[in-house]
Structure 1
Amino acid sequence: MLTLVRPHFSARAGGFFACVAVALLVMLPTFSLVPPGAQLSTIQQRGFLTVHTRSSPTIYYQGRRGPTGFEYELLRRFADHLGVSLNLEADHHLDSVLPAVRERGDLGAAGLVLTPDTPGISFTRPILEMQPLLVYRRGLNGINGPEDLAGLEIGTLRGAEDAGTAASLRELQKTYPELGWKESGELEVADLLAQVENDSLDAAVIFAHQFRVNRLFFKNVERGFLLGKPSSMAWAVPARQSLGFLQQANRFLRGLQESGELARLEERYFGHDDYLEYVGTRTFLTQLDSRLPRYTPLFQEAARQTGFDWQLLAAVGYQESHWDPAAVSPTGVRGLMMLTLPTAKEVGVTNRRNPAQSIDGGSRYLRNLEERLPESITGSDRLFMALASYNVGLGHLYDARDIVRMRDGDPDSWRDVRRALPLLQQSEWHEKTRYGYARGGEPVIYVRNIRRYYEMLKYVERSRQQFFQLDTNEPPGDSLLPFDLVPPLN
């Protein structure tokens, strides 16, 4: 399926982002309005679906491997469903999407809020729940509820047809007339967060899923409180045309929801907040920036030698020592990869505190463990069992596999083995094994942690592709920013 993308040029006010053009694959002519009742057949006859959208980390952007993003993934599948190519007109901002849908069709997909009474527009069934969220600059204390917002410099995005987060502030202002804010239909969420980060704004109101994606890059922006009622994301189609196309879109979206594919995409793009909370956002990001770059070439070289993904090896290193080559455990395990003295001797490491030796030795030891596993263990099960062996030892892993057999499970399944490992702490089970007692719950947590750290490293890499270089050296004055002022009511 071919994706056709119109060029996208966007200059951020004041130099916040140095923007590059979206790759131009094919330029298509403007087509005249299709007659009523013929939209679906016209799209299928012409062979492509035109979508009005905007470039945003939560919607659509150009990654290293081409177009990606949550709504892009849905649109690509929808075009495949219709048997046509996908033509993206991605040069829009929030204010321009719905007018383009009214005037030119076919579809608007740009983080749009479902507003049933919008003139000339019909919306599909809900795709994603969007909850307004107030975020604020770290260091501002006592921002616990709407009553604490008076006098703050607050920014938000003006949604299409005055919907979205700006609408939630307008509703709140009825109860808190002293509330005022700035709003824009031309900026993006990252612009707002950048201004909170550099003191141009005290706070911003965005959607919670947008903060989950962007928070990695704005360490001084705190999550505040939820604001108002949630909205629904939906696609927009011209109301003047037949119901056939709308029904087809709804049928497609319903199928994605019922199959679980929609939930999987939502988890992939927006479901990583739990990882951030688990590892500690600032600790992980601080060490990701301050420590990991020193050792990245060493992990990459170890990956070339062993065949593992270097970010997996880095995740092991973070679990073992938080990338600290001087780390020492109470039992004498030490170094960045926390090697025991016998293991170090086995892999030829003479100085466990030398990061190059530790990473090389730890990586080769992990590969050695993986190669010693039975050939019947395959895929991710094999990797997870090798990781567990790195923590608890290969002998105890074999004991856990024996317990799995005793319980009529599958010893080649990590799911069954991880349930058996904690039983090594119980005498009724470890007395039946060769190597006896082990703190079997630890390798289960160990593997889970590494999987989370690895996913976070991959997530950060993907997310960083979405942003341009942030320039905070010379914050622009308000006169340079496309804001409209909404004053207090009193």
Structure 2
Amino acid sequence: MVARDIAIQIRRTFCKPLFISLALVFGIIIFLFNGLPKLMTPSVLERIQQDGELVVYTRNSPATYYEGPDAPTGLEYDLAKMFANELGVKLTMIIPETLGDILDGVEDGNAHFAAAGLTVTDERKKRFRFAPAYQEITEQLVYHADHPKPKDLSNLGDGLLEVVAGSSHEERLKYLKNVIKDLNWRSVSDLESEDLMQLVADEIIDYTIADSNEVALNKPFFLRLRVAFDISEPQPLAWMFTKNEDNSLYDEAVKFFEKIKENGELTRMIERAYGHVDTLNYVGTIVFRRHITQRLPAYEAMFKKYAQEYGLDWRLLVAMSYQESLLRANAKSPTGVRGLMMLTRKTSKDLGIKNRLDPESSIEGGARYLTQLHKRIPKNIREPDRTWMALASYNIGFYHVVDARIITKKRGLDPNKWIDVKTSLPLLAQRKWYKDTKYGYARGWEPVRYVENIRSYYDILRRDIRPVNPVDPDPDIYKILPRVL
């Protein structure tokens, strides 16, 4: 009996560890079959860095992405390019045919995300997740200036309202339809919001809905457009990602936006894109475009010649000349400045220019002087801020800009950013501030207006260099009308 008990105890002693060991072995085997492949599969972020390419869907519009004269531009492009640089990869931006293609393509994984000026809506959040918002807009009803201004959406009568299919505008109208029973509209998939604004401007349709940022950027080009009212509260814009278990790229985007919000880079980029859009009124834009058409041809070759010689954008020189003299070679000011580039007598003497009223001499002198000022601006100031400060120096004098930068720093702002310096320049006219500066009083509000006007003119020239008739519609728009009307 004793021997039997001992044998049983021995079996128990040895079998228990054996059972545990076998269980561990089976557990490891199951992990190897199920868990190891997941560990071995690279994350989305790792694959992007391995491939060296970030693929982003976008829309073609001034608020998002478009091909400028020299390089791609637009706020979404600038943000996506900066993000790609942070990841150490190249950026590939793709423009799908329709907004619906953007949404479906991101959901299907054909792009890593969409940076397309997309509003964050409840319906979209069911399908996608969004990075932190980078901007807020309102949705606005747009109409033609020659037509009666509607009071609200129930006041549209028989007017034709068109919006982009799949847009946040369509989503909002569907919601409002529950309240305004006779609200009707037509959704089109072949056109962008900018195209629909063109149709309103050409009186082909009566109304459309557009985001406030796109309305602002397009005002100089659709001169008869008016905003009737907002149809929404402020809405966030954000990058759109597919919903899946892999958070690697999304988390990196969240960190990216937190960083550029904290260091002020996002504010600077938005100022670059929108800081000048409200500078010109309707009449100013009309007059500018007419003068460009009538006066620029006589001097265009000269602007191009000396812009190339001094490494400048010739359109920027034209914008400067228009701000200075309205492109008049014989322009004179009571203060003594003269010519296309309104050079002072002292500056002309320093540059060796004998005749300020000679168009070629004036353009060459202005280009050379701007280049000299640009070189004097500290190199740690990034573009385009460096150019804006050089322009301000051209207007008010280099050392007054130095004073304004010192004041900016005293105010706890960034003296290397135009968005901050332009708030300090007007303080040069206040004794409280100028009494402690080295160069004293200056009409500091003038260079602010000067630079913002030039930015507005420059923006028009870059997008619409030869407007033969400012109110003529784009003939290309009619090529697609039969498909939607």
Instruction: With the length of structure 1 as denominator, give the TM-score of the two structures.
Output: 0.67
Q: What's the secondary structure of 2:64's corresponding residue? A: coil
Q: Which amino acid aligns with 2:170?
A: A
Aligned to 2:158: 151
Given that 1:125 and 1:253 are in contact with CA atoms closer than 8 Å, whether structure 2 keeps it comes out as yes
Match of 2:233 among 219, 223, 229: 229
Q: Does 1:95 align with 2:100?
A: yes
Q: What's the secondary structure of 1:275's corresponding residue? A: coil
Aligned to 1:168: 172
Measured in 2, the distance between the counterparts of 1:122 and 1:343 equals 57
Shift of 1:362: 6.3
Aligned to 1:297: 301
Aligned to 2:244: 240
Q: Write out per-residue CA displacement over residues 81-112 of structure 1, whole angstroms, 9 at most, x where no aligned residue.
A: 44444444433411122222232355331333
Shift of 1:452: 2.0
Q: Does 1:79 align with 2:87?
A: no
Q: What's the secondary structure of 2:108's corresponding residue? A: helix
Q: What's the secondary structure of 2:302's corresponding residue? A: helix
Q: What's the secondary structure of 1:256's corresponding residue? A: helix
Q: Does 1:463 align with 2:463?
A: yes
Measured in 2, the distance between the counterparts of 1:233 and 1:60 equals 15
Q: Which amino acid aligns with 2:65?
A: Y
Aligned to 1:115: 121
Shift of 1:183: 1.5
Distance 1:39 1:152, change over 3 A: farther
Q: Write out per-residue CA displacement over residues 225-260 of structure 1, whole angstroms, 9 at most, x where no aligned residue.
A: 222223322333332333444333322222222222
Q: Which has the higher contact order (CA 8 A, sep 6+)?
A: 1
Shift of 1:206: 0.9
Shift of 1:207: 0.6
Larger CA deviation: 119-128 vs 250-259: 119-128
Aligned to 1:128: 135
Q: Which amino acid aligns with 1:95?
A: G
Larger CA deviation: 45-54 vs 226-235: 45-54
Matches within 5 A, 1:51-70: 51-70=56-75
Number of positions where the alignment pairs a residue of Structure 1 with one of Structure 2? 418
Aligned to 1:472: 475
Q: What's the secondary structure of 2:219's corresponding residue? A: helix
Q: Which structure shows the bigger proportion of residues in helix conformation?
A: 2
Measured in 2, the distance between the counterparts of 1:240 and 1:300 equals 52
Q: Which amino acid aligns with 1:222?
A: R
Aligned to 2:395: 387
Matches within 5 A, 1:322-471: 322-325=326-329, 327=331, 336-337=340-341, 352=357, 355-356=359-360, 359=363, 384-388=392-396, 422=429, 441-442=442-443, 444-464=444-464, 471=474
Q: Write out per-residue CA displacement over residues 411-435 of structure 1, whole angstroms, 9 at most, x where no aligned residue.
A: x9997995796479xxx99xx99xx
Q: What's the secondary structure of 2:84's corresponding residue? A: helix
Q: What's the secondary structure of 2:61's corresponding residue? A: coil
Q: Which amino acid aligns with 1:209?
A: N
Q: Does 1:252 align with 2:256?
A: yes
Q: What's the secondary structure of 2:301's corresponding residue? A: helix
Measured in 2, the distance between the counterparts of 1:224 and 1:97 equals 29
Q: Which amino acid aligns with 2:76?
A: E
Distance 1:463 1:256, change over 3 A: farther
Matches within 5 A, 1:142-221: 142-159=149-166, 163-221=167-225
Given that 2:133 and 2:237 are in contact with CA atoms closer than 8 Å, whether structure 1 keeps it comes out as yes
Q: Which amino acid aligns with 1:71?
A: E
Measured in 2, the distance between the counterparts of 1:224 and 1:254 equals 35
Measured in 2, the distance between the counterparts of 1:460 and 1:230 equals 27
Match of 2:144 among 132, 137, 140: 137
Aligned to 1:27: none
Unaligned runs of 5+ in 1: 1-34, 484-490
Measured in 1, the distance between the counterparts of 2:223 and 2:426 equals 37
Given that 2:392 and 2:447 are in contact with CA atoms closer than 8 Å, whether structure 1 keeps it comes out as yes
Match of 2:43 among 41, 44, 54: 41
Measured in 1, the distance between the counterparts of 2:482 and 2:390 equals 59
Q: Which amino acid aligns with 2:121?
A: T
Measured in 2, the distance between the counterparts of 1:254 and 1:327 equals 50
Measured in 2, the distance between the counterparts of 1:62 and 1:376 equals 31
Distance 1:147 1:281, change over 3 A: farther
Shift of 1:441: 4.4
Shift of 1:63: 3.6
Shift of 1:272: 2.9
Measured in 2, the distance between the counterparts of 1:384 and 1:130 equals 30
Q: Which amino acid aligns with 2:396?
A: A
Q: Write out per-residue CA displacement over residues 200-243 of structure 1, whole angstroms, 9 at most, x where no aligned residue.
A: 11221111111223333222323332222233223333323334
> Over the residues paired in the alignment, what is the CA RMSD in angstroms?
4.9
Measured in 2, the distance between the counterparts of 1:301 and 1:86 equals 33
Given that 2:96 and 2:102 are in contact with CA atoms closer than 8 Å, whether structure 1 keeps it comes out as no
Given that 2:43 and 2:246 are in contact with CA atoms closer than 8 Å, whether structure 1 keeps it comes out as no
Aligned to 1:7: none
Measured in 1, the distance between the counterparts of 2:235 and 2:41 equals 28
Q: Write out per-residue CA displacement over residues 343-386 of structure 1, whole angstroms, 9 at most, x where no aligned residue.
A: 9899666694x65565567667x579969xxx988676676445
Instruction: With the length of structure 2 as denominator, give the TM-score of the two structures.
Output: 0.67
Measured in 1, the distance between the counterparts of 2:157 and 2:293 equals 36
Given that 1:157 and 1:165 are in contact with CA atoms closer than 8 Å, whether structure 2 keeps it comes out as yes
Given that 2:392 and 2:450 are in contact with CA atoms closer than 8 Å, whether structure 1 keeps it comes out as no
Larger CA deviation: 328-337 vs 107-116: 328-337
Shift of 1:473: 8.4
Unaligned runs of 5+ in 2: 1-36, 380-385
